[in-house]
Amino acid sequence: MMGLMAGKETESAASTTARTTARTAVGTTAGTTAETTARSTALEGSPATATRAWTTRLVVIGIVLSAVNLRPAITSLGALLEEVRDGLGMSGSVAGLLTSVPPLCFAVFGVTAPRLARRFGPVAVVCAGMVAVTAGLLIRPYAGNTAGFLAGSALALMGIAVSNVLMPVIVKRWFPDRVGSMTGLYSMALAAGTSVAAAVTVPMTDALGGGWQAGLAVWGGLAAAAVLPWVPLVRDRGTAPAPEAGAGAGAEAPARARAERQPPALRITRSRTAWALAVFFGLQATAAYITMGWMAQIFRDAGVSASTAGLLLAVTMAMGVPLAFVIPRVATRLPHQGPIVIALGVCGLAGYVGLYLAPAGGAWAWAVLLGISNCAFPLALTMVGMRARTGSGVAQLSAFAQSTGYLISIPGPLLVGVLYQHGGGWGLPIALMIGLMIPQMAVGVLAGRDRTVEDEAAGAG
């Protein structure tokens, strides 16, 4: 009997212990769940998260404002080129040299951008670039002679050059999963700044009293605004915030960051795609700078008024505003960007042929067609981000393609000025533009193939 009672007591005690253990486990689990939820909620609303969100917004604002300021230094001059030539006593050949200064500066200074970015961070370099743009635009109209005007222009263009190269790097680093849309936003802002400067420079000059100096200097104020968003970010050296993730991802993030900071030994010149992209970039830049520097003058020589010629140039540049946002998004969804290259090239051929046959009669149609053709620029920027896998690869490819491409584009505007002065009209310069469009389409198709420069360089090695 005693044994039976002892057995029942033992069983009862065991049952009680089991129930207690179960209740403790449930309570512990509930507590853990509640603690995890609370921690997660606190994390979501933590100051660090809010800081990251605000920093990302600053980066977007900085990208947009910087992009807006990457072309007014050029298109504002194109709209007032005749007045600047008369004021400084320039010949047609010297004016052609002036229109060749932008690609020359982009080639010379753009190649230094990756090295500067490694030392100071891409954000600091872009911020300094916008300061240089501001100073150059304020100095050049009041330099008093051609040499001073060229020096001020070179200072502004130096800032534009490094920003040109580093914008795709910043996009790739901060928005790796949105390269197409962010490149589209950046390209759209660039096109908007280009077109607005072309459209309003002449009427704004008239409103300011008719002096071309004031009409050019006013764009320095817009450049100064682009400095402000980057200033709070300079201390971060342009490092993108790490995404919130679990413990495993958190352990991998530092390794990825270290790998990103150590660029691989990439021999970019061994890549055929890199060379194709560089030549494509150079030929589209040739067409763009000839258009920005000379198209308003072509219309004015055909009998179009100065204000209407500036407006036509603005229409050409404005076509890039919607298309610069659409084309990169479409391009990132295609394995091969060749069809887009061909479509843009055909529009360019049609526009140049029309400009040759009836420059004044179909002026608005030619302006639209050439504006569509000029959207090869955002396409080239998109392909820079697509043809490399890593941030360091994008930096090297961007510097190589843009610097080499701008070197290729240097003779174009200068040659147009010489042909215009000695050829007795615009027939030969426009024929040159038509002829350059064919190789542009050919190398663009090669650059649009689905491959990366890292794979090609490694295979060649």
pLDDT tens-digit map of 244-288:
333 333 333 444 444 444 444 568 888 899 999 999 999 998 998
Distances (CA, A) of 37 to 30, 45, 46, 82: 10, 12, 14, 68
Q: What is the pLDDT of residue 127?
A: 93
Residues 290, 436: Cα–Cα separation, whole Å = 12
148-200: per-residue pLDDT in tens? 888 898 899 999 989 988 888 888 888 887 777 788 888 888 888 887 887 78
Could you tell me how far CA 379 lies from the centroid of its own chain?
10
Q: What is the pTM of this model?
A: 0.68
Residues 383, 107: Cα–Cα separation, whole Å = 19
Q: What is the pLDDT of residue 390?
A: 78
Model confidence band, residue 349 (pLDDT cutoffs 50, 70, 90): very high
Mean pLDDT of 21-26: 43
183-192: per-residue pLDDT in tens? 888 888 888 8
Q: Which two tokens stand for residue 389?
A: 């896998």
Enumerate residues 6+ apart whose C-beta is below 8 A from 119. none
Q: What is the pLDDT of residue 65?
A: 93
Is the confidence at residue 28, as pLDDT, over 60? no
Is the confidence at residue 20, as pLDDT, over 70? no
Buried b (16+ CB within 10 A) or exposed e, 401-427: bbbbbbbbbbebbbbbbbbbeeeeebe
| Alpha helix stretches (DSSP H) within 140-262 | 146-174, 179-207, 212-217, 219-227, 247-261
360-394: per-residue pLDDT in tens? 889 999 999 999 998 898 899 889 888 888 777 88
Mean pLDDT of 413-427: 82
Q: What is the pLDDT of residue 460?
A: 60
Taking the alpha carbons at both ends of the chain, their separation in whole angstroms is 90
Angle between helices 411-423 and 427-447 (to 10 degrees): 160
Q: Which two tokens stand for residue 421?
A: 């002065």
Residues 365, 353: Cα–Cα separation, whole Å = 11
Is residue 156 exposed (0-12), middle (13-18) or buried (19+ Cβ within 10 Å)? buried
User: Would you put residue 210 in left (φ > 0), alpha (ψ -120 to 50) or beta?
Assistant: left
Model confidence band, residue 238 (pLDDT cutoffs 50, 70, 90): very low
Is the confidence at residue 308, as pLDDT, over 60? yes
46-79: per-residue pLDDT in tens? 556 666 778 888 889 999 999 999 988 888 887 7
Q: What is the pLDDT of residue 249?
A: 38
- With a pLDDT cut of 70, the percent of the chain lying above it is 80
Q: Which is more confidently placed, 130 or 311?
A: 130
Q: Which is more confidently placed, 95 or 401?
A: 401
Is the confidence at residue 36, as pLDDT, over 80? no
Q: What is the pLDDT of residue 236?
A: 59
Is the confidence at residue 398, as pLDDT, over 70? yes
Q: What is the pLDDT of residue 363?
A: 92
Pick the closest to residue 366 from 423, 408, 426 (CA basis).
426
CB 171 within 8 A of CB 182: yes
Model confidence band, residue 136 (pLDDT cutoffs 50, 70, 90): very high
